[in-house]
């Protein structure tokens, strides 16, 4: 599953860099779509292992997220997300820079009543 965003002036801070929260939101949306497709029902973020911002993202950059299920148990799963930033005006020449590396969240599947099911495999 992939999602994309063209960074515009509403996404940036005073230095012209895209806010980390904008990047996190896109990554979480991608992970959520993958988790819900995999589980066949609602899924919520329970935890995030790590997010490392490796390079700034600027206005005009295209953010692309790619997510996949790394592990799935009975009531939780781990989704891996990769975020890449590309300049909008450069053809697909392989000139990409990784914006973020994540060990994305464990997601819990919700029961029909909306409460999360017990998570036997979770540490928390």
Neighbouring CB atoms inside 10 A of 42's CB total 16
Whole-prediction pTM: 0.76
For the cut 80, the answer to whether the pLDDT of residue 87 exceeds it is yes
Three-class secondary structure of residue 21 per DSSP: helix
- Please compute the mean of the pLDDT values over residues 25-51 and round it to a whole number: 90
118 versus 86: the higher-pLDDT residue is 86
Across all residues in the chain, what is the average pLDDT?
80
Q: Which residue has the higher pLDDT, 124 or 78?
A: 78
pLDDT at 73: 87
Give the chain's domains with CATH numbers: 2-109 (3.10.129.10)
| Ramachandran quadrant class, 60 (left: phi over 0; alpha: psi -120 to 50; beta: rest) | left
Token pair for 70: 């790394």
CA dist 36 and 41 (Å) reads 5
How large is the average pLDDT for residues 98-107?
A: 49
């Amino acid at each position: 599953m992939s999602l994309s965003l063209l960074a515009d002036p509403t996404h940036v801070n005073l230095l012209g860099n895209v806010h980390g929260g904008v990047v996190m939101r896109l990554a979480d949306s991608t992970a959520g779509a993958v988790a819900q497709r995999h589980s066949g029902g609602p899924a919520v973020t329970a935890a995030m292992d790590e997010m490392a911002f490796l390079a700034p993202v600027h206005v005009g950059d295209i953010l692309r997220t790619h997510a996949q299920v790394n592990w799935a148990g009975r009531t939780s799963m781990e989704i891996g997300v990769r975020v890449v930033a590309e300049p909008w005006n450069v053809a697909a020449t392989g000139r990409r820079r990784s914006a973020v590396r994540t060990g994305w969240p464990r997601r819990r599947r919700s029961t029909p009543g909306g409460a999360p099911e017990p998570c036997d495999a979770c540490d928390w």
